[in-house]
Amino acid sequence: MSKRIVIVGAGPVGLVAAKAAREADPEARVELYGDEPYPPHRRPGVVGLISGETQRISDLYLTTATDLRRRRISLRTLTKATRIDFEDRLVHVGLRRGGFDKRPYDSLVLATGGVAYVPRIEGVDKEGVFVPRTLHDALSIRRYSMKSREAAIVGGGLSGI
């Protein structure tokens, strides 16, 4: 029976982990889970979508479905890990069509990425306040900015600059 390697987080690090797992064990079953609808992509590229420098989302993709199939890496988008049972070696995932599943693993990689710190200030939950992390965020900001005349950027990180 082949080894099952589960990677939670389908960002750049998750993709690298999946490719490394495949290289290390050509017979393993490699499963990559992400909660976004898109394949692994360049996170800093979300800024290009906001500015209009990048026109197509697919220009930010780090891989293609064909490449993943060729490498025998199973990508599950819109599938969020909700719990990990370390004792029974199971990852509980929410399925894209609703419901839940338990995915067994022999090896587990957590590549969930970072989360921006949003300060607790009045108005942070209002319409027009965004935290650009995902491609969906970038598209929302882009749409909103088309009808706005002014913007304030809080934060001097890579996305803020």
Q: Could you give all domains of the chain from N- to C-terminal order, each with its CATH number?
A: 4-110 (3.50.50.60)
Other C-beta atoms closer than 10 Å to the C-beta of 25 total: 15
pLDDT at residue 115 in the model: 80
Gap between the Cα atoms of 75 and 77, Å rounded: 6
129-145 residue pLDDT tens: 888 888 888 888 889 98
- Tokens, residue 114: 């970072």
Q: Across 22-31, 39-48, 130-139, which has the greatest mean pLDDT?
A: 22-31
3-state secondary structure of 91: strand
CA distance 70 to 59: 20
As a whole number of angstroms, the longest Cα–Cα distance in the chain is 60
Q: Which DSSP category does 28 fall into? A: S
Proportion of the chain above pLDDT 90, given as a percent: 55
